[in-house]
Structure 1
Amino acid sequence: VFLGQKYGYRPLPTKIEEDEFLKITSVSSSEDDKLLNQWYKLDLNNFPSLYCLQPVSSIFTNFTNRAHPRLMEEDQSQWWETMGKLNRAVRVAAAELLQQGRFTAQDNHRYNWSVTEQEVVRGILNAKDVQEHTLAFFRHIENINVSLLRHSMKFIDIAAKQVDTEAQRMLSDLRDVRVPATLPESAILRYTVQWSDDDGLNKNVHAEYLQDFIETFYRRIVELIDQGVRAQHALAAN
């Protein structure tokens, strides 16, 4: 796993179990309730029944209309705005349900976690024998110039032109607490580099770091492969 200072994209849930969706709408504002019911429709063909996010083009009909670029651009812009509202709606509701004791902390977390965390959970935290086939590379860039948004947003979570503190808190819990609690220290490699206003990371300024990373990554992966081959041979011999 590679983890830096960006928690990453936090997706809108595409499917929500019926009872959970009804809990969410029960604590939502009338505006959020209307929006959620516009975009999520009940599918009774599943068990348990699910509320499913509708295709974007079913409402914004020009979302993929390349024949009319201006209309497509307008619908795409409207969708990004709508997606933000939907995300806020489910997260606000999940937090309220947690406060009321109707959601567990894990229930609430499912409406907030990033794609990156979901992959780490599946590939490391919930996987078997991770000590034998997993490496973690952590990189910290010091003195990130957040004001250079074109570059900084590639390396750290930004919201309203500032560091997204909520995303950073969730990343810190994943990178600094949960992964180290699962992997031995020998499987974790840490790098610290200085920010460069020229692209954030620059192949010339950071040449030494990049070369060391490439060589270390190659060597450690080969070691894991060789270790796995030896283990397979030992099993075959027995």
Structure 2
Amino acid sequence: MIEILNPTLLARARGTGSLVADILQTLKSRSTIGTNLLEIDQWAKAMIVEAGALSCYVDYEPSFGRGPFGHYICTAVNDAVLHGRPYDYRLGDGDLLTLDLAVSLEGVAADAAISFVVGDARPPESLAMISATQRALAAGIAAAGPGARIGDLSHAIGGVLREAGYEINTEFGGHGIGSTMHQDPHVPNTGRPGRGYPLRPGLLLALEPWVMADTAKLVTDADGWTLRSATGCRTAHSEHTIAITDDGADILTLPTEARH
């Protein structure tokens, strides 16, 4: 299903996007050395409930998972990159943490992810990888607009990631979003320009470049959810929800302070 949102729903989407971004920034500020991943999950739950929103993850049960996800946020550490299920683990200095959050508010969902290094350590390779996903995300957004096609966004994202020296996995990528978290069209992190679904004003897309340091192969944890690099290398993931407008694309998942 591909949804095109009317102006009323787009206004709601902006509110959902700001909520997602604000929660992620609060969680980032609280994620310090010694923080438990289960604490992060509980903090996310409290903020979602307080806002009158709904988690897109708790009852999420796609074909590739094992039963309902059962948590409010994805927490992926170091070699984990996608669908990181929170567990009893305390963050250490230099850990690379990815927080991926999707919520629904007033019937419209938004989805975003951030990767950052915990503590005072600054591993150059980790920072470079995070930067590459951020630049790829910016390139994908810059390529979006009415008349562009999905392949244009994928090509822009993939070009940045390849130039930075990373292999690209195409099993998981960006996606349409609206009344539900995951919709068509699929947005691979590499592709050919001029191909795929043509973008229209009112379309919402979640773009999410992610990479692993030295491989494109994933393995699944025993929890049936968490996806890790096959070699144990570190990973990074950046994501925004955007709305296609009459003259380009609007980033919905910016923190409130960044909008002023």
The normalised TM-score by structure 2 is 0.22
- Which structure: greater helix fraction? 1
The normalised TM-score by structure 1 is 0.24
- Which structure: greater strand fraction? 2
Bigger-Rg structure (1/2): 1
